[in-house]
Structure 1
């Protein structure tokens, strides 16, 4: 696993729309009491993202003036094209990156409102796949009638010159690496796995790895906006997509149209605090699952009198048994259910409460019947591993973007060891593994280009920031912090479980966002839905 992943799966996946996943795991949520200060103090200590000049530099004119050649792309109703963007915005003549774009034109009736760009998160999630599998057919009919639904895979992702690091068998080995080392030998093995992963990424695309930052991806979106003929960018971003959308607003506040940032991230936090707070977010989500589980007769972790804390201890004891005695899965490639795979499977189910039943069944099979197949399915869905043993590039792009956007959370194992008490306090169940997962960027072959920063986007039209109170991957606290930073933000709160809120069953949330997208009517700041 890696750190700081926010990925939104389509509704075709059984575990639902889990946005921010934990490629090694993501970033924090409500921090444990006393762990790292207040959201406001973090924001005040970070520099502000500066807006770019309004005038388009002459060197970028060929990109802004290009014409897209639309073609069919195998999915009825959708068109695809290739967008050119400069590899390096500081030297636009140094070469291009080619970005995959897809759209589904507005169906009518009603006046066309322009393009609505969507991004599912990650970093590393394919926006094109998301558009074709969900947004282009599953967004409200009124929205699809008035907007051309558009997606672009960010640089380094999926169809847009994807970063590749390891082959399928190498990834199988990597995902089974012990994330709770018990001694120096196991610690060395984990460090070796991170080094191998990083070296693989560096060997594949050493030049591209320096240019997959969120700032560059946001600038690519402005080229796409212009090429599509839109004066302003309308955008719905989930999880990491909120960071991308907020970055766009910060760079181009005068071109920001109707922006919905759902499952918000906080750009003002350093990587270690992000990971610590996300660890607390997964614990919050697990506690909610635990309370639900013990009320049901098929809960393998306890009965009605079992406290959530004891449920956590029971799950941790199961993980500890797997550490020394993995269980069979029936996998064609001979994989057994290890502690790391089981932990990933449980975390995957935290993204959407509709997956809790599947998780109970999978835990029952593994704990009582020595059958780890169900948890392996959940883990594979998280890593986007298919039945043939091939992985998407989600994990590779996730690390590439995260490790470029921020300095590493930890520089070496000693720092992780020192931080373990804080992580284990944040989550007795997941803390140890997520602390060690936060080490991955320490060995990255490219130096980080970004720093924590505030985003104000002064002059932008109202921006809707959405936070879910028990979101595992993007803690609610982050939504409050981002809304406090953005000068025109309206905070919309969903009191519920799971990752993100739009399109997940709350009529209050959906109607509020639809009114904003269709009529430009933002909610009252602080509105709450359930």
Structure 2
């Protein structure tokens, strides 16, 4: 029997976690047949891309209109942007755009981004009814776009589906010389694949360039200023826009905010702690309910989960997967963290852990597949690849495998359960063959921008609450709104206080009280 999984807006900023998750209703199945490679993905938005010099100026890109065509309930189109904003005449790419028109008295366009990085954003418009409350749907055209390098906007490609399977299944905390060597080979294969398949685009998918694309999109939509709602990594994208274009910044809401001042190492430490907090909150809920299958205390429950992961590391679990796959420790890790994004999904984690403790890895495997956008034996998007390329282009810092053990003490202090996994993630960018050419050291304070509302959730696993506090403090016009709760992001999660603050600002221009607690 299939199950429906409700998961929060696309996430996972840390380098160790290479994937993206979207909110909404997803049917978890594993019964469809599929090919082994991504050649059959829809990349129609890139068919008209030109990577030949054409001597256009930046003004030429700003002077374009979107030719909208009906697509289901929505309208779809493309915009053309320079591959390299430092040399606009060197070639261009097309970005996929989708618009859900306002159902009531329209006040403008609201550009939205789900996070990632690596997640396409057109689906936010396609499934707008599930992501946004009625007041926003009535007042705004909801405009989603696939950022450069993702979705149908010249998606970067690095590995075949079979290679991705091996990559995700590998031990994220290698404990033998053979596993360490396998990890090094996987990394080399990944970066060489990116260079061979996507070199013309992969060096130009930085957050700064994506933010510049949003300003071209703003102009193409006919808006004088950008109104924007971004989630998770989308908060970094929005804050970057405010830094680059403060005079064009309209009403910005940044939900599940990332501290833009953190280094890759600091960000990974922060997220390790966030997932530890979320896991302990999940176990506490189980214990408080009485008769918890994991144990009679939080520490006992965490020990049960760690023992289970250790046992899977030694011997993968059988599953009912039609392809005959086993649940490896890598797949178990992703299956474990996926339901932590929303308290609504804890029942699925219950099911996955109960079955795994009984020797059946089927549910955790399904959760891992959902995390990686794997359906019917193939990957339906490139989010697993794009996240690493974008993150590493933004901050290429890394360490070698020999240096990883020196990080264990700090990371295990932040997260006794996940610390070593995140420490190994610090090797992700080692060997990246690309270098950002567009303001790679941009400092963000949004000086001169209109008020920017920053939302943080106290037990957010992927973007810990402290990062929202830091972003609001660093933004000159930042206003912090806090949600006391579990799961990732705050808007449209059943908290009227948060939703009223968001709607009040985006629709009516009423800035919420700084420090509002919901």
Q: What TM-score do you get using the length of structure 2 for normalisation? A: 0.89
The answer to whether the Cα contact below 8 Å between 1:261 and 1:466 also exists between their aligned partners in 2 is yes
Q: How does 1:20-419 map to 2 (within 5 A)?
A: 20-21=11-12, 24-25=16-17, 59-73=57-71, 75=72, 77-108=73-104, 110=105, 112-133=106-127, 135=128, 138-296=131-289, 299-303=292-296, 306=297, 308-368=298-358, 370-408=359-397, 410-419=398-407
More off after superposition, 310-319 vs 500-509: 310-319
Per the TM alignment, residue 424 of structure 1 is displaced from its structure 2 partner at its CA by 1.2
Structure-2 residue corresponding to 1:9:
none
User: Could you say what secondary structure the match of 1:467 adopts?
Assistant: strand
The answer to whether the Cα contact below 8 Å between 1:466 and 1:479 also exists between their aligned partners in 2 is yes
User: Could you say what secondary structure the match of 2:288 adopts?
Assistant: coil
User: Could you say what secondary structure the match of 2:421 adopts?
Assistant: helix
Per the TM alignment, residue 93 of structure 1 is displaced from its structure 2 partner at its CA by 0.4
Aligned match of 2:8 in 9, 17, 39?
Answer: 17
Structure-2 residue corresponding to 1:435:
423
The answer to whether the Cα contact below 8 Å between 2:118 and 2:384 also exists between their aligned partners in 1 is yes
More off after superposition, 453-462 vs 195-204: 453-462
User: Could you say what secondary structure the match of 2:155 adopts?
Assistant: coil
Cα distance in 2 between the residues matched to 1:132 and 1:417:
45
Cα distance in 2 between the residues matched to 1:471 and 1:314:
23
More off after superposition, 493-502 vs 414-423: 414-423
The answer to whether the Cα contact below 8 Å between 1:337 and 1:376 also exists between their aligned partners in 2 is yes
When the two chains are superposed, the root-mean-square deviation of aligned CA atoms in Å is 1.8
The answer to whether the Cα contact below 8 Å between 1:26 and 1:274 also exists between their aligned partners in 2 is no
Cα distance in 2 between the residues matched to 1:422 and 1:123:
26
User: Could you say what secondary structure the match of 1:438 adopts?
Assistant: helix
Cα distance in 2 between the residues matched to 1:353 and 1:332:
29
Structure-2 residue corresponding to 1:466:
455
Structure 1 runs (4+) deviating above 6 angstroms are: none
Cα distance in 2 between the residues matched to 1:297 and 1:171:
40
Per the TM alignment, residue 301 of structure 1 is displaced from its structure 2 partner at its CA by 1.6
User: Could you say what secondary structure the match of 2:228 adopts?
Assistant: strand
Cα distance in 2 between the residues matched to 1:407 and 1:24:
13
User: Could you say what secondary structure the match of 1:205 adopts?
Assistant: helix
Please list the CA deviations of residues 392-448 of structure 1 after superposition, one character each: whole Å capped at 9, or x if unmatched. Answer: 20111111110100122x320122111011111111111111211231111222135
Structure-1 residue corresponding to 2:45:
none
Cα distance in 2 between the residues matched to 1:402 and 1:199:
17
- Structure 1 unaligned runs (5+)? 1-11, 28-57
Cα distance in 2 between the residues matched to 1:391 and 1:285:
28
Please list the CA deviations of residues 244-298 of structure 1 after superposition, one character each: whole Å capped at 9, or x if unmatched. Answer: 0000001001111110000001111110111111101100111111101223456
The answer to whether the Cα contact below 8 Å between 1:128 and 1:151 also exists between their aligned partners in 2 is yes
Cα distance in 2 between the residues matched to 1:440 and 1:65:
39
The answer to whether the Cα contact below 8 Å between 1:269 and 1:452 also exists between their aligned partners in 2 is no
Cα distance in 1 between the residues matched to 2:4 and 2:69:
28
User: Could you say what secondary structure the match of 2:95 adopts?
Assistant: strand
- Structure 2 unaligned runs (5+)? 20-55
Cα distance in 1 between the residues matched to 2:321 and 2:177:
30
Per the TM alignment, residue 145 of structure 1 is displaced from its structure 2 partner at its CA by 1.6
Cα distance in 1 between the residues matched to 2:129 and 2:203:
32
Per the TM alignment, residue 337 of structure 1 is displaced from its structure 2 partner at its CA by 0.9
Cα distance in 1 between the residues matched to 2:433 and 2:293:
43
Per the TM alignment, residue 316 of structure 1 is displaced from its structure 2 partner at its CA by 1.0
Aligned match of 2:409 in 421, 430, 436?
Answer: 421
Per the TM alignment, residue 97 of structure 1 is displaced from its structure 2 partner at its CA by 1.1
Q: How many residues align?
A: 478
Please list the CA deviations of residues 134-181 of structure 1 after superposition, one character each: whole Å capped at 9, or x if unmatched. Answer: x35642222212211111110001010111121222111111111222
Structure-2 residue corresponding to 1:5:
none
User: Could you say what secondary structure the match of 2:230 adopts?
Assistant: strand
